[in-house]
Each structure stands twice: as structure tokens, then as C-alpha cells.
Amino acid sequence: MNFNSLEAIIPIDGRYRGRIGETSRYFSEYALIKERLRVEIEFLIKVIETCSEEIRFKLPHDWKDRLLRIVEDFKLEDAERIKELEKILGHDVKALMNYLRERLHQIGLEPLSSYIHLGLTSDDVNNLAYSLLLSRFRDEVLIPNLIEVIKTVSGKARENLETIMLGRTHGVPAVPTTFGRFLSNYAYRLARIAYELASFKFPGKLGGAIGDHSALKFTYPKVDWIEFSKGFVESLGLEYTPASTQILPHDKISEFLGKISILDAIISNLCRDLWLLSSLGLLVFGRRVGEAHSSTMPHKSNPLHLENAEGACDLASSIASFMARRLISSRLHRDLSDSIIKRFYGLPLTLTIIGFKSLMEAFKRMNVLKDKMRLEVESHPESLAEAYQVYLRAHGVEDAYELVQGALDKGWSEVLKEIKDRGLPDEIVKRLKEVEPTKYVGEAVRIGSMLLDEVEKILRKIGK
């Protein structure tokens, strides 16, 4: 029966499939089966080269090329054959082994069939396959998309380094800053975690039934199986983990998922902040011609892409955080409770990409109302209260905080009057009288510029 996306159980394979279809190359069952096959064949080659010189003489000269072509030529119908075998066997990796045995007989490599999966346990194959898929997804999808997000946020920040904006703490007016300085914080935070993700080394292990290489050591006692395993794992571009049971401990993968959870939380917080500025009328997220943002109110122009990004990232963050915690737990040398969880790696990671793309769309539509931001700052002269009390205390007025606070209760116009009544030198009163809210931004522009310069340096490092 042909699959219709309208029948998908979850929206990732339905509503959002067109936006994130590329991720099926890393998180579909087909992708996992193919990667397992790659690991089995790479291991088979390594074992034959290390342990079975007499077998090699019985093989055609291009035996390695023939093996590697099995992976290159692997199609959906091959995966379907493995699924047919799994229905009979009730074991996915054993089904793969039987399929590979069939293929070896078909391509004239039957002497190798008894060496398939030699001395391995299922997780020796699975852990390597998952780490390879996650590594490729990170390099080919996650980081390139995240870099685009960072460049977009940075670009908007640099455009608005001098755009005056009222800072808010506890949701109420505090002191002036700039919109560019505000965005530069997020750009810097995202760049830092992007570098951590880009430089993260995915783990891998070999070890057999409980991690001690027992069967292989018994069969080939002269081989250093610890060095063999380390070399094999590292040849795949992974970091060797010696502390394994039947499974790879999930500490490192949990560390990666933890970083994803933090990344999503940062982006979600950015979305909420931009949403709040929109609700204050300082940002506008336009609608395209012909779009409807409400089924009943034609005038509505909602920050819907921002809200979509927030929801996607919140969900991704929660799922990734749960997975990171739960995967660390395993009973003694092995139980299967982690297996079903790992099959959902694609859920938080694909939601993350949906969040990225929605945020990018929101930024495309975002219009910064600079005049309104400036007017709001000008309409809050009390935002200078901090400047007044600090300046006065620095000039010997011990109760300056209380003086300014008490005068403010009567209205801003009373503050200077009460300061004058203290009989302070004219130059002090003059300095306070001359300061304007729109000029009271401290080092905002300089800090924002410094942060954005750091972002550029980090992105160059990632590029290398």
C-alpha cells in the first residue's frame, strides 16, 4: 500500500516532511540498516586481514571491492528483504547477518560467510552505526543549519548595534541598551555551543558479549584485541571507549544530547524574547500577500514562525534532555530498554532543524521599529535613576539611592529639584541635568561589537 503523508502518525513524517526530508538519510530505519551493513562489512574486512591469511588466498583479487559494493548498491528492496528475514527470526541484526550471507554467495565470496559478525554482539554493530549516523548528521545538517542561524542573528545584531532600546528586568523598564547588543548575546551563546557540537567526538566500542573480547581472544589468542578494537573504532573516525559492557555506555551520547537540549533552550528563549518585543509593538513579523493569520480577524499579522520555532525547540529540548538522562541507565551488563529510545534520536534532532528553519523565516519577516524603540526610551526618563544615584554616591551623597527613590515617588520632575535642595555643586547638578536616556547606554555598542567579532572568530574555527 502506498504511504500518504496525511496518514503519518507524527507530523515529522507528515506535515513537516517537506521541510526536513533530508534527515531521513540519518534517522530512517533504512539508514540504520545500511549503516549496520557498512559496519559489518568493514569489520569483516578487518578480521580477514588480521586473522585469516589462508582464507585470503581462496578469494578473488578484488574481494574487498566486491564487499564494499554491497553497501554502495544497497537499495530499499534490500532493506525490505532484511525486514522479511526479521519477521521470521525476530532479531534485526541476525536478519542482517543472514542477508549478508546470501549476498556473499551471490557474489562469489561464500568462503567469507562463516566470518560474518565473528565474535561480535549486536551492540558492537549498533553503537558504531548510530555514532556514524549522528556524526554525519551533525556535520552535514546540524552545523550548517546552525551556522546560518548564527549568521542571521549576528547580521541583525550588527545592523542594530546603535538602535536604542529600553532594557527590561522582571518585565518592567530598567535602563536603556541597544537592540544589537541584546541580539549579540544570543549570537555569542549560540556560536559557543555550535563550536562544542562541531568539535564533539562521537564514541564507539567493540567487545563481544560483555565487553571482554572473550570469544575472539579464545579463538585467536595471539591477537591483541584491545588494540584491534581501538584501531578499528578510530578508523571509522570515532573515539574508542574501553569501558564497555555488552553495550557502549551512553555517557558521551548523553553529553551530545545534553548540548542539543541546551542549544534548543537558548533558541526557545530567543524566540520568547522576540515575541515579547513584538507584543510591545517594537518588532513586527509581517505576513505575505494572500496569507491569513487568523480564521476570524483579517487584520492579524502574527509572529507565527517565531511561535513555531519556540514550540519545536521546547519539545526538542525536553525530549533530548530526557533521552540524555535515561540512556545512562542500564541493568548490569545489558538490557534492551535503551534500544527503543535510540530509535528516536531523530525526533529531537529533526525538531531542532524545524526550529532553526522556522526561526530563519521569522527573521526574514522581522521589521525592527527603531523610532518606536527610541520613543519608548525617551518616554521613560526614570531609566536614568541608576545613573543619578551612582553618580551622587560617587560624589559623597551617602543616601543618594534613598534620595532618588523618594523623589521618584513624587514624579521624575521632582528628582532634580530635591538634588538641588541638597546644595550640591552646580557642576554635579549640571552633569545630571544634561544626561539623556538615549545616550545612557554605557558600553553597549562596544560590548556588542566585541561579541560579534568573537562570533566571527568562532565560526572561522568551526570552518577549519
The per-residue DSSP string of 1-41 comes to ----GGG-SSGGGTTTHHHHGGGHHHHSHHHHHHHHHHHHH
Q: Which amino acid is at 85?
A: L
Q: What angle do CA 199, 202, 208 make, to 5 degrees?
A: 160
The closest of 347, 265, 277, 261 to 309, measured between CA atoms, is 265
Count the residues in the chain.
Answer: 464
Q: Is 294 a catalytic residue?
A: yes
DSSP at 292: -
Query: Whole-angstrom Cα distance, residue 133 to residue 412?
Result: 62
Q: At 173, which helix (H) or strand (E)?
A: strand 172-178
Query: Whole-angstrom Cα distance, residue 429 to residue 231?
Result: 75
Of 170, 295, 299, 413, catalytic: 170
β-partners of residue 366 are 285
Query: Whole-angstrom Cα distance, residue 124 to residue 334?
Result: 12
Of 5, 114, 294, 329, catalytic: 294
The closest of 281, 303, 444 to 369, measured between CA atoms, is 281
Q: What angle do CA 280, 301, 353 make, to 5 degrees?
A: 90
DSSP at 139: I
CB proximity list for 323: less than 8 A, separation 6 or greater: 254, 257, 341, 344, 345, 348
- Measured from the Cβ of residue 66, the count of other Cβ atoms closer than 10 Å reads 17
Q: Is 413 a catalytic residue?
A: no
User: What stretches of 280-336 show up as alpha helix (H) in DSSP?
Assistant: 304-327
The closest of 154, 269, 146 to 197, measured between CA atoms, is 146
347, 257 Cβ separation under 8 angstroms: no
Q: What angle do CA 126, 128, 134 make, to 5 degrees?
A: 100
Residues annotated as part of the active site: 170, 294
